[in-house]
Amino acid sequence: MKKINIAIDGPSAAGKSTIAKRLATKLNYVHLDTGAMYRSTALKATRNGIALDDEKGVCEMLANTEIILTPEGKVFLDGEDVSTAIRTDDISMAASAVSKLKNVRADLVKRQQQMAKAGGFIMDGRDIGTVVLKDAELKIFMTASAEARAKRRYDQNIAQGIPTSDIETIAEEIRKRDYDDTHRAESPLRKADDAVEIDTSDMTIEEVVNCVYQLVMPLLEV
């Protein structure tokens, strides 16, 4: 069967990664969580004492940085498993800061495009349908209210044993990141003209997976 590429964009904690992961298993595709690449960049910059607005410094660091996303969903930064370390609230904010830097985006976008060449990828992020995979056969724009997203992120943190703030604090951070992600100069978060919008606030994971699956199936038969 034909292998297509699927782009899933949307604000933070809208469920993109969870849905992409499930869908990848169902279709036998590879899920690529591009947010993990911005998070890994932020983690290394923080550890190395590089300011998060130092574009030159972060880019030079990236030139000697290996970020590997495994099909099992693990993230390796220069060989170290950072899958959990990149999920803290501090790194969420730091990732949002480095993602504003034009040349950092250029570097990571190039890596993402290289990876997706073979087809059969479900890539989630903010600029996948608008920049990284402009020609993706299916583009989804996934949204949910800030309250619904904060509750999900909180539950996810608890389930994974990740230190977490309370729901209202997470909701505030989500609103701030939404603002930053949609108002930044470089590749701001926006729905691609040809993307299908899904508001998942009142949907279960299964319902969202099935909804996207119904959109994918006809594309595989042509």
Q: Which residues sit at the interface with ligand DC, rule CB under 6 A?
A: 12, 34-35, 38-39, 92, 95-96, 99, 125-127, 177, 181
- Distance (Å, whole) CA 7 – CA 215: 12
**Least CB distance to ligand DC at residue 85 (A):** 13
Nearer to ligand DC, 38 or 141 (CB): 38
Instruction: Look at residues 186, 18, 160 and name the one whose alpha carbon lies nearest to residue 98.
Output: 186
Instruction: Look at residues 75, 93, 95, 85 and name the one whose alpha carbon lies nearest to residue 162.
Output: 85
- Distance (Å, whole) CA 172 – CA 168: 6
**Least CB distance to ligand DC at residue 221 (A):** 29
Nearer to ligand DC, 99 or 200 (CB): 99
**Least CB distance to ligand DC at residue 86 (A):** 8
Nearer to ligand DC, 27 or 174 (CB): 174
Nearer to ligand DC, 50 or 95 (CB): 95
Structure tokens at 78: 């220069």
Quote the radius of gyration of the chain (alpha carbons, Å): 17
- Distance (Å, whole) CA 24 – CA 21: 5
On the 0-12 / 13-18 / 19+ scale of CB atoms within 10 A, 85 is: middle
**Least CB distance to ligand DC at residue 77 (A):** 14
Nearer to ligand DC, 2 or 97 (CB): 97
**Least CB distance to ligand DC at residue 15 (A):** 11
